[in-house]
Amino acid sequence: MNDRNVVIAGAAGEGIQTIGDVVATSFLAHGYPVFLTQEFESRIRGGNSSTTLRIGSAPHNAPRRDADVLLALNRVSQQHYAPQLREGGILISPEVFAFRDLAKEHGGSERYANAVAAGALCAATGMPVAVLERRLRETFAGHGEEVAAANARAAQAGYDQALGRLGERAERPLPPRTHRYAFASAHDAIALGAAAAECRFMAAYPMSPSTHLITTFARHPELGVFAEQAEDEIAAIHMGLGASAAGARAMTATSGGGFALMVEAVSLAGMIETPIVIVLAQRPGPATGLPTRTAQEDLLFAIRAGHGEAPRAVLAPSDPQDALRAAIRAFDLADRYQIPVIVLTDQYLADSRFALPPVELPDAIPGPQLADPASIERYARYRLTDDGVSPRLALGQSEHLVCLDSDEHTEQGHITEDLDTVRPAMVEKRLEKGRRLKGEIAPPSRNAVDDADLVLVGWGSTKGAIDEAVSILRDSGRRVGALHFTELWPLPAMEFSETARYWTAEGNATGQLAQLLRMEYGVETEGRIGRYDGRPLDAATILEALS
Amino acid sequence: MNDRNVVIAGAAGEGIQTIGDVVATSFLAHGYPVFLTQEFESRIRGGNSSTTLRIGSAPHNAPRRDADVLLALNRVSQQHYAPQLREGGILISPEVFAFRDLAKEHGGSERYANAVAAGALCAATGMPVAVLERRLRETFAGHGEEVAAANARAAQAGYDQALGRLGERAERPLPPRTHRYAFASAHDAIALGAAAAECRFMAAYPMSPSTHLITTFARHPELGVFAEQAEDEIAAIHMGLGASAAGARAMTATSGGGFALMVEAVSLAGMIETPIVIVLAQRPGPATGLPTRTAQEDLLFAIRAGHGEAPRAVLAPSDPQDALRAAIRAFDLADRYQIPVIVLTDQYLADSRFALPPVELPDAIPGPQLADPASIERYARYRLTDDGVSPRLALGQSEHLVCLDSDEHTEQGHITEDLDTVRPAMVEKRLEKGRRLKGEIAPPSRNAVDDADLVLVGWGSTKGAIDEAVSILRDSGRRVGALHFTELWPLPAMEFSETARYWTAEGNATGQLAQLLRMEYGVETEGRIGRYDGRPLDAATILEALS
Amino acid sequence: MTTPERDLAVENQWCPGCPNYGILAALKRALERLDLPPHRVCLVSGIGQAAKLPHYVDAHVFNGLHGRAIPAAIGIQVANPEMTTIVTSGDGDLYGEGGNHLLHAFRRNPNLTVIVHNNRIYALTKGQASPTTPLGERTRLQFDGVDVDPAQMLATAIVHNCTFVARGFAGDLDGLAAILERAIAHRGLSLVDVIQPCITWGSHPVDWYRERVFAVPEDHDPTQRDAAIRLALDAPDRFAIGVLYETEPRPTFATAYRKRVGSGPLAWMPRIGRAAIETHLAAWVVDPEGKEPTKEKG
Amino acid sequence: MTTPERDLAVENQWCPGCPNYGILAALKRALERLDLPPHRVCLVSGIGQAAKLPHYVDAHVFNGLHGRAIPAAIGIQVANPEMTTIVTSGDGDLYGEGGNHLLHAFRRNPNLTVIVHNNRIYALTKGQASPTTPLGERTRLQFDGVDVDPAQMLATAIVHNCTFVARGFAGDLDGLAAILERAIAHRGLSLVDVIQPCITWGSHPVDWYRERVFAVPEDHDPTQRDAAIRLALDAPDRFAIGVLYETEPRPTFATAYRKRVGSGPLAWMPRIGRAAIETHLAAWVVDPEGKEPTKEKG
Ligand SMILES: Cc1ncc(C[n+]2csc(CCOP(=O)(O)OP(=O)(O)O)c2C)c(N)n1
Ligand SMILES: Cc1ncc(C[n+]2csc(CCOP(=O)(O)OP(=O)(O)O)c2C)c(N)n1
Ligand code: SF4
Ligand code: SF4
Ligand SMILES: [Mg+2]
Ligand SMILES: [Mg+2]
């Protein structure tokens, strides 16, 4: 089937998520990949929200702006989203379909209107209604046979009416396929990656779009992560550092405003050399900004956050598969270098579900790196070593007493005022860790770069959109390629071709990656493509900027 | 007289500050400039602290490492500071002078030992003891005639004994001069600059080395600044933003750790477009670091602090004269652009007193910039304008209602979810302010740059040290010059000569200015000179690095 | 200059039927009864569902950050004591993220009214426990039930001698309006915790609360600390509504300062003037003795 | 592995004669009496003069940031409940910058002892008011005297049913050691506010306090809230010393969790294992119906 973009729009609380879920899983169960994105306002009822399904024969894990099909559950949504519907696209809405009447007639109650709408959507997209009916039965299994049956009848009625009304424009029923896809969000993946990396402790304060992470651990105790809702973000990260100092791998998650409150503790982690993983799920700022939307505005902030100078790592995964890897890597880097590691995601990564080949755990998952107390004669927490990394014992791990101190300290961890020897040695020790870290940072991924005269450079969640733009431009004969960074600090040593022109593409207005490239590599970018309206960067934005 | 560096060393609480003060003011009263620096530990009693007086015929407002004269009040201090005494330098200490015995004999009590020591110091430095005696009388005027007289006798005794002991090595008595010098710290100047700029409100939480600022306002109500000690730094800056929104010019002051806690509010100030001046008095980090020492480690942090994207200004004055100007300018920029302005100082600037020509207020001091309510028909706090600056009315200023909102907002200040029009317009509005601001940022000052083949580039408090290095290198025939930034963000458009080689010199280990220059100007620095042991950068460090 | 014509076509974002509408109506009524014109009122809030309230009232608005309404309001109140400044925000905002500010506000006693929309939940973030969610209640994050005790902020206010401490019920417009009127008129910090059932995420409907609220007994003496604390301590299912504690106003924040400078807005106080600064600048200068020719030459 | 040989040649940075030495001595004695070996004890502090104490004791140390000792200690305690974790820090640290954490710690009731060195001043920063400085007292920042009321954290603890609330006096080694011994042995959060006159910045010498402390009356029933609050509320010049409030321990923080996983340190719990994760990864996959050949062809 062709790439089809289906927008399901309605008010918060009207049920678009459920419709999106049952239709998406219908496609998946039928062997077709679905990429699901969500857009909603910062309110609990009303307003304009949407779930978008991008469906095709092969996965298109990238946002598309225009809709082939628009299902609008109410008039306001219809008006709001109609401009997105491409010419000739299909509109399904109460204006053209009597959802409620059909629901009453076939289901016995208006509350089956969404099932009618889902049925109509299937007619428009070539989804056999029987597949949808089974999904509805699964979804409402807990509500008794009558409810399940009513849903099924309502869906069938919607399907039938739409088939009739759409006539030629209805999609022909798709044949079933045997393709299997994993369907998950990047935050689902981070939670599993953390658990796989033996994270034992998470404290966080609720904040969109990060809350799903702590919720996952609380919902699934079998993942082995103790989860605590802190009184504020400051408490959250200090609890994490305490747990980490006592040997438990620990993390927290938040968004920009909450991260801003954690900044002092990021500096502390650098000083006491205690690992901590911080997921910073970005949303548009400044301040409260657009709490439920997406952005990539916190890159330079994350890199520089904290007073004083100490190393850190900043990672920015691009999809769920990559996020699983990034989570495991974050804990490993944090642990081996005894530093804070920040994982940058965003609302788009957090709330979208990607269709991927079934995801597998890496073979080797490095676990905690505490030293062996038996091998130590006389312990000093901040022992000076060649690589700057001191053997780490946890508080309470053994009879060796461990002293952690936020002041500048001696090798034993005690407050020092020795400026001639101890202070410079400790500064250099910490910075040496950063130099070593830099040596093992992954270079950007390369997509058709070798013969490219124009190279798009991106980071994090925009990979799908950029790769899509590259393939469209290649198809039109342009020699375009892409470099994509998912490990952003420290940046690895690398060469940029002198002949290619570079354009950055990112979800902000000031070209933060472009600034970083200039600072680290001296590369001049010819152009900076930025999207900063709260929606994810898409291929169309890139193509417009380049045309 | 030649440049003389006099170190007065002792334990905290032993009285070195008083000795430093009376000797310094003796020189000033005698017509000679003094540059006074202080070094102390993070404790209240004991340890090693020192006050250093750099004295000469002309001001040398820059730190010098080696001592011509060392007065050590106890054995531990003597050992600690002896390595600083240059060969042939004069040591005055209990080991060589019986301070206490003389004090008992001539003052009647050991508590006049410091007066004896001060007298001895005068003999070593060519200060007529009568001048010192008058300073002692002034200082102890409140303690009764007997105490004053005993101090004077003790000083005379110390002077006499030292004259005898030192013989040839005693400095010949200096002739009195009529030169007048102002003697003050950069934080003294910032307080006065703020008051002159009609700052009305300051809230702060105590933190070295910033506490002197709020203390000045509390001590001097005639400066007209309401001063409140907040429960934490977060409260401090939010109180300031509240007061500012209600029309009162407002500021806060802190050090790196406290600033880290204010970062979320910096972002808020950017979003609600409410002016606030933040003095960030730097000290070595990370974390608690060295609380009473100096550093320049928070430049890039200050520039990037806060989630989301909104303009700010970052200033870094180089001495008290410049700090007076910077404070006035900070309030003016904050007010005209409705942004947060960060003034970077450090422990060295805060705790050192400079000898300067008498300081005068600038002729024109721009005052608050609130709009005239009578001129407004229908008020909208965030009215879109060409330059991005909306007419600002204060809360409660008039019958026009003012609505400030930390969410993305409409022109009226109400929460918006309009992504197509309002959000992009508001982002561009805020960024346009930044572009205009950039246009009026001062270029770096130039010292012998035109014919230089090697240019030292510095910022903030290191100007004295760098200029001293330049003049020493010029004297030795090298074509060295200096560029010095005191306005660091946004950076002004400027050209760097292709032929000169650039070296940065700053108080940190990672070359933060060098990184910034590369990012903003694409300039490659040939070398990066950094001092990060907690002491101020001095000319000697620069000369060593260049040799 | 026209009379304030406020863009009150702001769409309300609360769920239909939410008791927040009751608080909004009660507040409007109290402001009317007190005859406070819109431009003499400033509403301050943090972030949350409750914190959207200021956008729906004809008044000045400072809608700041989550948890930070109190210090912003203190700054506003100090800068302009002629406005009536009212904080209206959520239980998570004021008792959770902002707990330290409220605690220290009890000490300062600024002339503010603090209205806490206590829905015992984080509503805007979709249903996590707030500091007042009762023990054992299941939420969308505490799946096995909340396992820490609720915060007792009314009792904490009382032990700090906060001179007006009340509990209201959003389902009782008349009663709440009357409490708010008294609270706003009271000099010093007035704390009003309003039971505001969340009909979307909360565990109980409004009627469940309606059945469990009771008026503060007639014979309750609101100057008696022990009795007030007893009424204040949240039983999870019994709610004394009314003024729990009220004593003689104590000096409000910045009283000493205001005695010195008068009561006007700081922004329009007379300029300090160059002279005051120049005196300080002059004091930096150490006059050389050599200038005074009578002095000996040391 | 040798027995812990700790670098106790750490120079003490306190002023000679400071009552902090009394707290140090009392704590050491209490730890000895409880027979707690050094490696089973973790001392946690923030920043300030008081907060330097952990460096002077033979134990594990987490000397974190100003105001943040409590959450760090909670993290440590959850991660390793087998250690005895004790917070020892200043009044500014715990009641000022860290006030919110203490407030919410009362709710959580972690098994911690919190020792507050209450010198009624910010000593390390050279003499500004702390949250407990009495009204009217002049400091090096409050030149005309403090004009806000002191924080009442003991009373706040009591209204939150903190099950062990005591006041000690640093000038009474025996008495303080006895209180600390009980506090450390108590299960749940124990709060001990220790009167610790600052002889450098404080307004009164140690003897002034010595004359004004009195033992909690023999007939005081520490389970009685009202009476405990009366003793707790700081009169500026009368200090009841002893255990003010003590009730049956209530469940400590993370009890439910620990029931499930046992009491060992989190770091040494058995690995979750790949299987648990793989189950979740497998649940991401939607199996195509088409794989099951019996199913109809839609
Ligand atoms: C610093 C910060 N942390 C977290 C959030 C996310 N957040 C927004 S509202 C809210 C809680 C709201 O609860 P409450 O104050 O009780 O208001 P309600 O929505 O229940 O009315 C949170 C945690 C935020 N905006 N800022
Ligand atoms: C975030 C932050 N703010 C401020 C400071 C500065 N500071 C260090 S100690 C201290 C107060 C100490 O008072 P207290 O906790 O009572 O301890 P004391 O010195 O009196 O024993 C302050 C404000 C800091 N280190 N960190
Ligand atoms: S979510 Fe709850 S508190 Fe928020 S508007 Fe809806 S009912 Fe009211
Ligand atoms: S300053 Fe005060 S509290 Fe600190 S050590 Fe000295 S006497 Fe003790
Ligand atoms: Mg709430
Ligand atoms: Mg103290």
pLDDT given at position A141:
86
A259 at interface of B, judged by CB pairs closer than 8 A: yes
Q: Rounded to 5 degrees, what angle do the CA atoms D66, D67, D68 make?
A: 95
- The subunits that touch chain A, with at least 3 C-beta pairs less than 8 Å apart, are B, C, D
Residue nearest to atom 3 of ligand 3 (CA): C198
Model confidence at C291, in pLDDT bands (50, 70, 90)? Answer: low
CA nearest to B511 within chain A = A309
**CA-based nearest distance D207→chain A, Å:** 32
Burial of B168 by CB count in 10 Å (0-12 exposed, 13-18 middle, 19+ buried)? exposed
Query: Shortest CA distance to C166 belongs to which of C157, A468, C174?
Result: C157
B433-461: pLDDT as tens digits: 999 999 999 999 999 999 999 999 999 99
**d(C-alpha C16, C-alpha B291), whole Å:** 54
Half-sphere CA count of D133, side-chain side, radius 13 A: 26
Interchain proximity A220–D280, CB inside 8 Å: yes
Is A509:A530 a contact under the CB 8 Å cutoff?
yes
Query: Shortest CA distance to C140 belongs to which of A229, A209, A47?
Result: A229
Q: Where are the beta strands (DSSP E) in B100-215?
A: 181-184, 199-204
B473-530: pLDDT as tens digits: 999 999 999 999 999 999 999 999 999 999 999 999 999 999 999 999 999 999 999 9
CB atoms within 10 A of CB A176: 20
Q: How confident is the model over B117-144, as a mean pLDDT?
A: 94
> Is the model's pLDDT at C7 over the cut of 70?
no
Q: Where are the beta strands (DSSP E) in B249-327?
A: 249-254, 276-282, 313-315
Interchain proximity B406–C63, CB inside 8 Å: yes
Percentage of residues in chain D with pLDDT exceeding 70? 94
Bond preceding residue B209 cis, omega within 30 of 0: yes
The 3-state secondary structure of A383-421 reads: CCCCCCCCCCCCCCCCCCCCEEECECECCCCCECCCCCC
pLDDT given at position C290:
72
pLDDT given at position D2:
34
- The residue whose two tokens read 């500096």 is A267
Q: Would the CB of D20 count as within 6 Å of ligand 4?
A: yes
What are the distances in angstroms from CA C96 to CA A231, A429, C142, D254? 5, 39, 16, 19
CA nearest to C101 within chain D = D100
pLDDT given at position A278:
99
Model confidence at B141, in pLDDT bands (50, 70, 90)? Answer: confident
Please list every residue in chain B whose beta carbon sits closer than 8 Å to the beta carbon of residue A510: 309, 431
Q: Which residues contact C77 (CB under 8 A, 6 or more apart)?
A: B242, C83, C85, C110, C111, C112, C253
pLDDT given at position D291:
61
C263 at interface of B, judged by CB pairs closer than 8 A: no
Percentage of residues in chain B with pLDDT exceeding 90? 97
Query: Shortest CA distance to B16 belongs to which of B32, B40, B43?
Result: B40
- The residue whose two tokens read 């034992």 is A200
List the single best residue of B403, B411, B412 to mutate versus C (max C Cβ within 10 A). Answer: B403
Residue nearest to atom 7 of ligand 1 (CA): A207
Q: Would the CB of B385 count as within 6 Å of ligand 2?
A: no
Residue nearest to atom 13 of ligand 1 (CA): C122
Start-to-end Cα distance in chain C: 70
Q: Would the CB of B175 count as within 6 Å of ligand 2?
A: no
What is the number of CB-based contacts under 8 A between chain B and chain D?
64
Is D158:D228 a contact under the CB 8 Å cutoff?
yes
pLDDT tens per residue, chain A (547 residues)? 889 999 999 999 999 999 999 999 999 999 999 999 999 999 999 999 999 999 999 999 999 999 999 999 999 999 999 999 999 999 999 998 999 999 999 999 999 999 999 999 999 999 999 999 999 999 998 899 999 999 999 999 999 999 999 999 988 999 999 999 999 999 999 999 999 999 999 999 999 999 999 999 999 999 999 999 999 999 999 999 999 999 999 999 999 999 999 999 999 999 999 999 999 999 999 999 999 999 999 999 999 999 999 999 999 999 999 999 999 999 999 999 999 999 999 999 999 999 999 999 999 999 999 999 999 999 999 999 999 999 999 999 999 999 999 999 999 999 999 999 999 999 999 999 999 999 999 999 999 999 999 999 999 999 999 999 999 999 999 999 999 999 999 999 999 999 999 999 999 999 999 999 999 999 999 999 999 999 999 999 999 999 9
pLDDT given at position D8:
54
D236-245: pLDDT as tens digits: 889 999 999 9
The 3-state secondary structure of chain C reads: CCCCCCCCCCCCCCCCCCCHHHHHHHHHHHHHHCCCCHHHEEEEECCCCHHHHHHHCCCEEEECCCCCHHHHHHHHHHHCCCCEEEEEEEHHHHHHHCHHHHHHHHHHCCCCEEEEEECCCECCCCCECCCCCCCCCCCCCCCCCCCCCCCCHHHHHHHCCCCEEEEEECCCHHHHHHHHHHHHHCCCCEEEEEECCCCCCCCCCHHHHHCCEEECCCCCCCCCHHHHHHHHCCECCEEEEEEEEECCCCCCCCHHHHHHHCCCCHHHCCCCCHHHHHHHHHHHEECCHHHCCCCCCC
pLDDT given at position A18:
95
Query: Shortest CA distance to B36 belongs to which of B27, B44, B48, B45?
Result: B27
**What is the helix (H) or strand (E) element at residue A531, kind and residue range?**
none
3-state secondary structure of D244: strand
Interchain proximity C131–D159, CB inside 8 Å: no
B177-232: pLDDT as tens digits: 999 999 999 999 999 999 999 999 999 999 999 999 999 999 999 999 999 999 99
Q: Which residue type is seen at D215? A: A
Q: How confident is the model over C139-149, as a mean pLDDT?
A: 97
Please list every residue in chain C whose beta carbon sits closer than 8 Å to the beta carbon of residue B184: 284
CA nearest to C283 within chain B = B182
What is the number of CB-based contacts under 8 A between chain A and chain C?
63
Pairing of strands A454-459, A480-485: parallel
pLDDT given at position C149:
97
pLDDT given at position D246:
98
Q: How confident is the model over C195-223, as a mean pLDDT?
A: 97
Question: For chain C, what is the mean pLDDT?
Answer: 94
Residue by residue, DSSP assigns B134-162 as: HHHHHHTGGG-HHHHHHHHHHHHHHHHHH
Tokens of C26: 């009660």
> Is the model's pLDDT at C297 over the cut of 70?
no
pLDDT given at position B105:
95
Q: Would the CB of B205 count as within 6 Å of ligand 2?
A: yes
pLDDT given at position C292:
53
Is B143:B34 a contact under the CB 8 Å cutoff?
no
C247 at interface of D, judged by CB pairs closer than 8 A: no
pLDDT given at position A2:
87
Ligand 3 atom having least distance to the Cα of A45 = 6
List the single best residue of D111, D149, D247 to mutate versus C (max C Cβ within 10 A). Answer: D149
Please list every residue in chain C whose beta carbon sits closer than 8 Å to the beta carbon of residue D152: 159-160
Interchain proximity C15–A218, CB inside 8 Å: no
pLDDT given at position D7:
43
Residue by residue, DSSP assigns A269-334 as: HHHHT--EEEEEEE-S-STTB-TTS-----HHHHHH-SSS----EEE---SHHHHHHHHHHHHHHH
B17-38: pLDDT as tens digits: 999 999 999 999 999 999 999 9
Ligand 1 centroid, distance to A287 Cα (angstroms)? 13
Query: Shortest CA distance to C104 belongs to which of D47, B211, D153?
Result: D153
**d(C-alpha B260, C-alpha A433), whole Å:** 23
List the single best residue of C11, C53, C126, C128 to mutate versus A (max A Cβ within 10 A). Answer: C128
What are the distances in angstroms from CA B521 to CA A457, B71, B257, B515, D285? 21, 48, 30, 10, 50
Q: Where are the beta strands (DSSP E) in A16-172?
A: 34-39, 46-55, 67-72, 85-92
Write the residue in A265, A395, A406 that is nearest to D60 by C-beta. Answer: A395
CA of C93, nearest ligand number:
1
**d(C-alpha B282, C-alpha B291), whole Å:** 9
Tokens of A459: 């980071």
Is A2:D262 a contact under the CB 8 Å cutoff?
no
C185 at interface of A, judged by CB pairs closer than 8 A: no
Q: Would the CB of C15 count as within 6 Å of ligand 3?
A: yes
pLDDT given at position D6:
41
- The residue whose two tokens read 């950063």 is A434
Ligand 5 centroid, distance to A42 Cα (angstroms)? 15
B462-473: pLDDT as tens digits: 999 999 999 999
Whole-model pTM: value is: 0.98
Query: Shortest CA distance to B293 belongs to which of B472, B37, B91?
Result: B37
Question: For chain B, what is the mean pLDDT?
Answer: 97
**d(C-alpha B495, C-alpha D175), whole Å:** 72
Q: How confident is the model over B166-175, as a mean pLDDT?
A: 92
**d(C-alpha D8, C-alpha D12), whole Å:** 10
> Is the model's pLDDT at C8 over the cut of 70?
no
Query: Shortest CA distance to C211 belongs to which of C234, C233, C241?
Result: C241
